[in-house]
Chains A and B, each alone.
Chain A
Amino acid sequence: GEQVEQRPPHLSVREGDSAVITCTYTDPNSYYFFWYKQEPGASLQLLMKVFSSTEINEGQGFTVLLNKKDKRLSLNLTAAHPGDSAAYFCAVSAGFASALTFGSGTKVIPCLP
């Protein structure tokens, strides 16, 4: 079955700096890709979903890049701020009736510049 590897497990980033979280997956039939944010003690909130190959999606304070050729999904936090302190999870699905397979998570800790 699908396997998703997420790196790094922990990330300290200075306020104002950027940081990248990367997921690689194994199933070439994977078609739907998601990033979730989980603040301490809270549930998972959908950050962004990506469906197209080599797509860059921009959100508020982050960008997402999907490279289907390399089977790689990345989340780039731009200009980190205290509100970014959370665990981030990528999730991948192969298609209809296929539940999400999650990466192991990255704990992001913004620190003072």
Chain B
Amino acid sequence: DMKVTQMPRYLIKRMGENVLLECGQDMSHETMYWYRQDPGLGLQLIYISYDVDSNSEGDIPKGYRVSRKKREHFSLILDSAKTNQTSVYFCASSLSPAANTEVFFGKGTRLTVV
């Protein structure tokens, strides 16, 4: 069963706290992504990972960092969360970075920073 799993699904944090969002995939995909989704803005790319320890900034990396120590896991870290990081975060994976390969999305993590 091919899937991308995100934990937790819902999270409430106080401003200034550290946040860890976890993502796993069971398809041995090389490429993984973190997006955030805000109303009226679609999905915006935060980071892309081409394999273990091979990560690149996306369009909105500021305030975020990532970690990929195993091919099947990709973590998004917010050091000292801010209220404007309240959003729904989607992890995704694809077999390769080639743009014509299908991207599989997780169910999202709704993060609220108060």
- Taking Cβ atoms with an 8 Å cutoff, the residues of A that contact B are 1, 4, 6, 9, 31-32, 42-46, 49, 51, 89, 91, 93-105
Contacts and interface: CB of A to CB of B under 8 A. Distances in A.
A97 B99 CA distance: 6
Contact of B99 (A1, A4, A95, A102): A95
Contacts, number: 60
Q: Which 7 A-B pairs have the closest CB atoms?
A: A93-B99, A102-B42, A97-B97, A102-B43, A43-B105, A104-B42, A32-B99
B40 A9 contact: yes
Given A43-B106, A44-B105, A6 B45 contact: no
Consensus secondary structure, chain A interface: loop
* Interface residue range, chain B: 20 to 34
A46 B102 contact: yes
Nearest to B91: A43
B98 interface: yes
A104 B40 contact: yes
A45 B104 CA distance: 8
Given A9-B40, A105-B42, A49 B102 contact: yes
A96 B98 contact: yes
